[in-house]
């Protein structure tokens, strides 16, 4: 089971790096995606300094939650220690993403959170996108800043001061989505500020929007299953099968 799960995650993590390129969230070899191996103290992450067009499932690196390489032919991402720290201290997190997307980084360079002034932002983030402390790359200092900033915060994204974006999610795909949405709202709010001061949204409305999006929006499996059962029952009861 573990081997099969790791093979699946290698492919998923490799493929998700292409989404960072697709949405213009990274340049050259910057940025990374990782995923926790379910039920194991392991993570899968990209190799350091390898071009996105050269990434394959086989090139993904398997590490333990201390950031030590367990399996792989390359050195892991320079942000591995940060990712590992997040997994150790936030057991609900299944995926971590780091990008240097332009507009979000512009806010990070100013050390300024992105205010929650859009309904889409209330949906996805439920609050402002906060700023974490400045930290040097190479050890778990960035991870500490991520955990300290996001613990107890609704936002799955943090702008690490003078650095870039880190996002978390229940899995790697959710963390990538948060990174995409982070850049989108950072750009929109920046443009809004060129026209004037964005209008705030009342906290009660932010709460309501976030609750609806997180718990009601989209297709609910139980609803679809119930509808299928109900339809089958009606067909059995109808003499015409209608």
Residue 182 clears pLDDT 60, i.e. is over it: yes
Could you read off the pLDDT of 120-175 as tens digits, one per residue?
999 999 999 999 999 999 999 999 999 999 999 999 999 999 999 999 999 999 99
CA angle 67, 55, 63 (to 5 degrees): 15
DSSP labels, 77-139: PTTHHHHHHHHHH-TT--EEEEE--HHHHHHHHHT-PBP--SHHHHHHTSS-B-EEPP--BTB
Q: What is the mean pLDDT of residues 68-86?
A: 97
Residue 222: pLDDT band with limits 50, 70, 90:
low
pTM for the structure as a whole: 0.90
Residue 227 has pLDDT above 80, yes or no: no
pLDDT at 214: 95
| Model pLDDT, residue 172 | 98
Classify burial at 27, counting beta carbons within 10 Å of its beta carbon; exposed 0-12, middle 13-18, buried 19 or more. Answer: middle
* pLDDT at residue 1, rounded to an integer: 55
Question: Is the pLDDT assigned to residue 225 strictly greater than 70?
Answer: no
Mean predicted lDDT score pLDDT of the chain: 92
**pLDDT above 90: residue 241:** no
How many Å is the Cα radius of gyration of the chain?
Answer: 20
């Amino acid at each position: 089971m573990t081997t099969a799960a790791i093979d699946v995650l290698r492919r998923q993590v490799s493929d998700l790096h292409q989404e960072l390129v697709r949405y213009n969230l990274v340049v050259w070899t910057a940025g990374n995606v990782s995923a926790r191996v379910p039920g194991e103290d392991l993570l899968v992450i990209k190799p350091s300094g390898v071009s996105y067009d050269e990434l394959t499932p086989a090139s993904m690196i398997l590490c333990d939650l201390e950031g030590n390489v367990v399996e792989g032919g390359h050195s892991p991402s320079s942000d591995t220690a940060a990712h590992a720290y997040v997994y150790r201290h936030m057991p609900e997190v299944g995926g971590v993403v780091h990008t240097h997307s332009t507009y979000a980084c512009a806010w990070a360079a100013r050390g300024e959170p992105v205010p929650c002034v859009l309904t889409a932002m209330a949906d996805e983030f439920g609050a402002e996108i906060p700023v974490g402390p400045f930290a040097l790359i190479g050890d778990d200092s960035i991870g500490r800043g991520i955990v300290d900033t996001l613990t107890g915060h609704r936002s799955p994204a943090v702008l690490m001061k003078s650095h870039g974006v880190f996002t978390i999610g229940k899995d790697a795909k959710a963390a990538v989505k948060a990174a995409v949405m982070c850049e989108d709202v950072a750009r929109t709010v920046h443009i809004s500020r060129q026209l004037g001061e964005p209008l705030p949204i009342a906290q009660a409305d932010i709460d309501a929007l976030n609750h609806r999006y997180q718990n009601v929006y989209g297709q609910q499996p139980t609803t679809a299953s119930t509808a299928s059962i109900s339809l089958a029952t009606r067909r059995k009861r109808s003499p015409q099968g209608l």
